Amino acid sequence: MLEVKDLHVTVEGKEILKGLSLTINPGEVHAIMGPNGAGKSTLSAVIAGKDGYEVTSGTITFEGKDVLEMDIEERACAGLLLGFQYPVEIPGVKNIYLLKAALNAQRAARGEDEMPAPEFMKLVREKIKFMKMDSSFLQRAVNEGFSGGEKKRNEILQMLLLQPKLAMLDEIDSGLDIDAMKVVADGVNSLRDANRAILMVTHYQRLLDHIVPDVVHVLVDGRIVKTGGKDLALELESRGYEWVLEESAA
């Protein structure tokens, strides 16, 4: 589904990704772990097509298409979506309008008509209930005054509506209490499907107790230095990252 090959990325003249390769198949959940500043957020941002990143060499293909030739909207419409891809706060724009606009942009790109308002409202109500969110969220300006946990729930709500083929989630566990993390994890788990893949960036193993990954990668200094199964996350939690570095240098 997604193939990243020998990717080199520079931000403001500094090389951040230094030859990163990654293959994700449909149905798989991949976790990217690694120390601060390793390049984890850079990776998901580059795949999504955010501005400010220069790909100096390497390739990214998604369902056989050259992702680097597509702009951020085209990528989103093709099913490549990063949580919080949309601005963190949009003063004055009601959440419901953003959700509706995003859904209809996706439908338009597929040559489909807008979703009729009653159908949209029914769908949104179902999803916000699932995310244990209050319907008043829909009438508030996007993320304005939302707590950290509310923002994360809203991010997953957007994913549940847009149903991306590859959902990328960057540190959805940061700032969440246990109950909120369970709701967020339930939302992500409900996205799991044989035709969909999920790429999760996380610092901490605890999220992976709730969203059990198929594959765990360790990203250090711009490269994936180790790949394993879910047990690798447990090992990292108890041993840190140093040993992986030593092992990969040997």
Which residues of this chain interact with Mg ion, rule CB under 5 A?
38-41
Contact stretch for ligand ADP (CB under 6 A) within 23-31, 37-45, 84-92, 228-236:
37-45
Nearer Cβ to ligand ADP (42/95): 42
Contacted by 33, from ligand ADP, Mg ion, none: CB < 5 to 8 Å by type: none
Q: Rule CB under 6 A: is residue 37 a binding residue for ligand ADP?
A: yes
Q: Rule CB under 6 A: is residue 36 a binding residue for ligand ADP?
A: yes
Nearer Cβ to ligand ADP (29/38): 38
d(CA 165, CA 171) in angstroms, rounded, equals: 19
**Closest separation in Å from C-beta 168 to Mg ion:** 12
**Closest separation in Å from C-beta 140 to Mg ion:** 26
d(CA 201, CA 231) in angstroms, rounded, equals: 16
Q: Which of 39, 79, 164, 213 binds ligand ADP (CB under 6 A)?
A: 39
Residues that bind ligand ADP (CB under 6 A): 11-12, 16, 34, 36-42, 52
